[in-house]
Amino acid sequence: MNAQRPSSLWWDLLDEHGLTRLGLSRSLDVDVAIVGGGFTGLWTAFQLKQRDASLRVCVLEADICGFGASGRNGGWVSALFSVHDAGLERRYGHDAMVRMRRAMNDSIDAVGSTAAAESIECGFHKGGTLVAARSAAQVDRARADVAEARHLGFGEDDVTWLEAREANELMAMDSLLGATFTPHCAVMQPAALVRGLANAVERLGVEIFEHSPALRIDPATPSQRAAVHTRGGTVRADVVVRATEAWSSQLRNSKREVIPVYSLMIATEPLSEATWESIGLRNRETFSDHRNMIIYGQRTADGRFAFGGRGAPYHFGSQIRPGFDQEPAVFERLHETLRELFPQIGDATITHRWGGPLGIARDWHSSVGLDRSTGMAWAGGYVGDGVSTTNLAGRTLASLIVNDGDEITTLPWVNHRSPQWEPEPLRWLGVNAGLLATRYADHHEASTGKPSKVASVMTRFLGG
């Protein structure tokens, strides 16, 4: 079968030529039904079969595997978690925070080792992350981040401050005053990884049904197993895993658990070797800066910039529509920002513009869990930092389901319950006001060089 693929650089680089799987056309009884064929669902299926090859597992995907954020993201395999380390320490204590941090760091290598073992050609390369400081306010924020890391017990092998000369040797960004560097990040081609992982899961005996959206998910009752209802049939299971991230907001039982917020990206044409020589990023370090509105980028394996950021509006009622992937004003701001950071690109052509929704919980706290009484399991709310976190989620869900006693199930995010988002129009007003406030804070800092009080308020609101 052929199907229209999502619009992004990553999908255009694939060699699959529109290959898609058949949809569900019968009712099934399985041990575990997974709703969502992105990284969360596929890592969970993979890990379940690694732990117990006899398990009957199926994956139900509304479109094609990797259609959502898994196939459209910035290609960072990072150790970033939705709640900062200091926030985790305040909530759960020092030891729990350290365990969570180390688990996130280890997840990067888990992604890379699995890709290698399964012969998934996704260009995985661990070069770390440079986060630039380009104003006095950003320098203060960067140095504070390093000081906080030291206070929490993390040394230079976790994060370090680079003075301007050192930073410019790695990345010749305009107006660079310094940068923080962490080795805990890799780059890869996300669509290649998610599609390769789907193939690996099938080789283990998991049935994947694409074009099979869940119409309703029923938790178990004392007299009936949990069930996923689709147009093609009903799947009954001992455990149903909801791995739908931003699309959880479209399901009846989870409409206010997360909100879908759009992140958009652009990609340049491949740049010349001479241009890259003037820019740096020779070890394919991912990059960002210490502004308040999130930006992120990488040097791709074929020599492009892939660059993205926030700034697209939240849509009333948590709507998700294909047209929301295209916001010309945001694409233009991203292009202007990239040229500001790296004027060396000159008039390089922007070949791709794309985007998609990510899931944000009300307390900006990712979670994973299992309720045995209802047979319902879940993971999500990654706030855009999901590539490594989904791997950790898949391993955690698998361990919870088979009940093998792995200490991974005692990490502080396990069985965390975020509060519900406010009803409309409160969440539309609040989220979009927050976007405007963040943009104002960056403008204030750029014009005055002083940290924005608005930014400090927003940091507390966003789980900092």
Whether the per-residue pLDDT at 121 is higher than 80: the answer is yes
Q: 226: closest CA among 209, 214, 212, 213? A: 214
Task: Report which residue type is found at 256.
Answer: R
Residue type, 176: L
Confidence band for 464, pLDDT divided at 50, 70 and 90: very low
pLDDT given at position 463: 44
460 has a pLDDT exceeding 60: no
pLDDT for res 445: 84
The per-residue pLDDT for range 404-447, each reduced to its tens digit, is: 999 999 999 999 999 999 999 999 999 999 999 998 888 888 88
From residue 245, alpha-carbon distances to 13, 68, 79, 305 in Å are: 25, 9, 19, 27
pLDDT in tens, 24-46: 999 999 999 999 999 999 999 99
Structure tokens at 225: 């197993």
The answer on pLDDT for 3 being more than 60 is no
Domains of the chain in start order, with CATH, are 1-125+184-264+359-421 (3.50.50.60)
Residue 4 pLDDT greater than 70, yes or no = no
Give the DSSP letter string of 43-109.
HHHHHHHHH-TT--EEEE-SSSTTTTGGGTS--EEE---SS-HHHHHHHH-HHHHHHHHHHHHHHHH
Cα distances (angstroms) measured from residue 78 to each of 266, 304, 388, 408? 20, 20, 6, 19
Q: In this predicted model, what pLDDT tens digit does every residue of 89-110 receive, in sequence order?
A: 999 999 999 999 999 999 999 9
Closest CA to 34 of 399, 377, 400, 393: 377
| Average per-residue pLDDT for the chain | 95
For residue 7, pLDDT over 90 is answered with no
pLDDT digits over 371-399, tens only? 999 999 999 999 999 999 999 999 999 99
Model confidence over 275-305: pLDDT tens digits?
999 999 999 999 999 999 999 999 999 999 9
- Quickly list H helices, 383-425: 386-402
Query: What does the pLDDT read at residue 5?
Result: 67
- Residue 20 is predicted with a pLDDT of 83
Among the ranges given (5-19, 67-81, 184-198, 226-240), the one the predictor scored with the smallest mean pLDDT? 5-19
pLDDT at 263 (0 to 100): 96
Q: Is the pTM of this model over 0.85?
A: yes
pLDDT in tens, 192-250: 999 999 999 999 999 999 999 999 999 999 999 999 999 999 999 999 999 999 999 99
pLDDT computed for residue 454 by the predictor: 67
Pairing relationship of beta strands 233-242 and 28-35 according to DSSP bridges:
parallel
Amino acid making up residue 429: L
Q: For position 258, what pLDDT does the model report?
A: 97
Which of 4-13, 102-111, 182-191, 399-408 has the least mean pLDDT?
Answer: 4-13
Length of the chain: 464
pLDDT in tens, 328-364: 999 999 999 999 999 999 999 999 999 999 999 999 9
Parallel/antiparallel/unpaired status of strands 286-289 and 129-133: parallel
pLDDT tens profile 250-279: 998 899 999 999 999 999 999 999 999 999
| Beta-carbon contacts of residue 388 (< 8 Å; ≥ 6 apart) | 77, 78, 79, 80, 104, 107, 108, 111
| Amino acid 459: pLDDT | 53
pLDDT score of 461 more than 60: no
**In this structure, are residues 25 and 233 in contact, taking their beta carbons and an 8 Å threshold?**
yes
Arithmetic mean of pLDDT, 54-64: 98
- At 283 the pLDDT is 98
